[in-house]
Structure 1
Amino acid sequence: MYVRIARFEGGDLADADKAIERVRNMTQENRPPGLEGATRLLMLVDRENGRGLGMTFFETEEAMRKGDQALNQMSPGDQGGRRTGVEMYEVGLDQNFSR
């Protein structure tokens, strides 16, 4: 499993609920083109400081690279603030503690 992590600052992240709803609406109906290989999306928000992380998970490195190209073409727009960084990792451990 692989993950692409994008960092964001500003925009509607100062109102995290608005940012969450915007991303939910964008992805709920259909996956954006290029993200067919994505398996999961997590959005982490720092409400106090107006920052966030978008974590997109993929089964293969190839799917992650394709998804990265697609996501790099998407602009966060004025509401989304600015993308301050992108990092990609292989998931070393995915431990589920629920029974």
Structure 2
Amino acid sequence: MSISKQRLEQQAARLLAEIIHDELHDPRLPMFVGIERVDLSPDNASAVVYVSALERTADTVNILNHAHSFLQDELAQRMKLRRIPRLRFVEAV
């Protein structure tokens, strides 16, 4: 894995955690939602986001997948990329 790809994945994870915490106001979300890691596809067209939560992790994943458009738009505003990857949230194992 190239350093730049690894850096992009780390930046995306950090920014998504901030956006979820600060901007996503959904009362169904648990207070503590963690982004464990982000795996970008080789062409950066999609990303798998591994999520953990203290409770209701499956519900949390569903809520985040439902809000993926909002999260992608917010991520696009904060990252300087030509193409923002399509986000898919999954439960971290």
> TM-score normalised to the size of structure 2?
0.45
Q: Name the structure, 1 or 2, with higher relative contact order (CA <8 Å, separation 6+).
A: 1
> TM-score normalised to the size of structure 1?
0.43
In terms of Rg, which structure is larger? 1
More helix by share: 2
